[in-house]
Structure 1
């Protein structure tokens, strides 16, 4: 009996003198608690951004339906006045935006542009100029095709793009003095509210319209084809800008929805980890109390 009491006192003294058994666990619990708080804040932000993107998507879709009429008008003109496709030096206009947090919306158009330049049998002049609308695709193409970048635009399409924005871009492109035989616009094509794909829209230049059989059949002043080419370029840029804007809002909503779901999953795992750690800490404290009581 005396031996048991002596051993109990020794055990009690060693327990009181040593560091608490749950000291390391408490630090871990504090870290988990802070992480839980930050993940909950992120989940609130992404949920709010998803709601904002959903509201903007409805407006962007309405603007896209109206803007598509400009592209349809262009396609009708070009269909009735086909030009000879013998151009090698092609101007590429890559359309995206300045903002992030919208999935792979920017890399979609830059990958499509790089694929076109990588094709060996396309007959394309690899010194063909590239003009970019948006800071995000500009940064990506500056790494892949730095020598081809000739002109970039930003602060366009912060809200729903207007025809004035497209006309300003078209005017600067024409006045830039860059030499090209044809124009190709690389943009994101709206498929559904949850999907999009990169596409290329061909735009006829003044020379190609002037030399097309449809226009040669009539006697016209020189300014007619020039004005038509400028207006067609502005039409095409506007149609692709509004469609790209709708794709961006759709991609942002989907990205924020996925981020919110991932945050909720992480919150569940961290909460379970925190509960287990807390339960283990309480169990250790109870064991210490019972051990001390038994020793006394």
Structure 2
């Protein structure tokens, strides 16, 4: 009777081990699938990074001329007037802390301005984060951003919509600056209104034929700064996604090793319980 009870205990223990073994096997399979996905996303990001860096390099050339123009003309900001913050992000996730960093940087800048700022959010990610804390400040938002490298045509359309908000004495473009393949830094481009450019003392250095040059320079400067900011942010995002997927693949590999060892040990325990069950049953027949 005692031997029969021991056999029943062994069988119930074996059943529990089988259930656990099945769960481990399913978990191991799901982690392997995740590893395949993250590896694929890493390869895709690595391929797109070269294109993003080329677009970023080209935008830097154009923005360099804009920076030289502002350096020569020396327009001034009006600290007492309202500032328009154009915060550049994208719609896509799975790229580390890149969206939260620029959102944090924007909130800090709004606090420095004592709330005397309106916000234009470029990308759903930054719009969602800023809406939670500064919903009243977000006046305009764009989505469908970050699928491809930015171009001047879409930037010009965005500038046309931004201009419909009215005239702002100060305009700042907040973006993630690409510093290396593993890091980025929230930074700012300053854009100036037509009135600020027209009042700039250094504007006399240029021989200007058109009387409306200040308005044209203001719109082109904002578009140029926005294009550079979006190109920098795009390269930073692709690089961050590649690094995030690389880390995710490594973590998945570590978990696969861990669960493989656990699976083998559990399987060995099941086999041992079955052997005990067989031996106990054979002994009960003696």
Note whether the superposition's TM-score is higher than 0.5. Answer: yes
Count of residues in Structure 1 that have an aligned counterpart in Structure 2: 282
Would you say the 8 A contact 1:156–1:165 is kept in 2?
A: no
Would you say the 8 A contact 1:128–1:180 is kept in 2?
A: no
- Structure 1: 5+ residue stretches without partners: 1-9
Q: Please give the per-residue CA displacement for 1:129-173, whole angstroms capped at 9, x wherever unaligned.
A: 100100000000001111110000111331111111111111111
- Structure 2: 5+ residue stretches without partners: none
> What is aligned with 1:5?
none
Would you say the 8 A contact 1:57–1:249 is kept in 2?
A: yes
How far apart are the structure 1 equivalents of 2:25 and 2:8? 29
How far apart are the structure 2 equivalents of 1:21 and 1:38? 26
Relative to the length of structure 1, the TM-score reads 0.91
> What is aligned with 2:44?
52
How far apart are the structure 1 equivalents of 2:5 and 2:74? 94
> What is aligned with 1:66?
58
> What is aligned with 1:103?
96
How far apart are the structure 2 equivalents of 1:91 and 1:13? 82
How far apart are the structure 2 equivalents of 1:43 and 1:103? 17
CA apart distance, 1:115: 1.1
Would you say the 8 A contact 1:50–1:257 is kept in 2?
A: yes
Secondary structure, in 3 states, of the residue corresponding to 2:27? helix
CA apart distance, 1:84: 2.4
Larger Rg: 1
Q: Which range moved further: 164-173 or 260-269?
A: 164-173
The equivalences for 1:68-87 within 5 A come to 68-87=60-79
> What is aligned with 2:188?
200
How far apart are the structure 2 equivalents of 1:245 and 1:159? 8
Query: Do structure 1's residue 277 and structure 2's residue 266 form an aligned pair?
Result: yes
Relative to the length of structure 2, the TM-score reads 0.94
Structure 2 CA distance for partners of 1:26 and 1:202, relative to 1, 3 Å: same
How far apart are the structure 2 equivalents of 1:281 and 1:17? 15
Q: Deviating runs (4+, > 4 A) in structure 1?
A: 16-19, 216-221
CA-based RMSD of the aligned residues comes to: 1.6
CA apart distance, 1:221: 4.5
Q: Please give the per-residue CA displacement for 1:31-74, whole angstroms capped at 9, x wherever unaligned.
A: 11111111100000000000000000011001111111121111
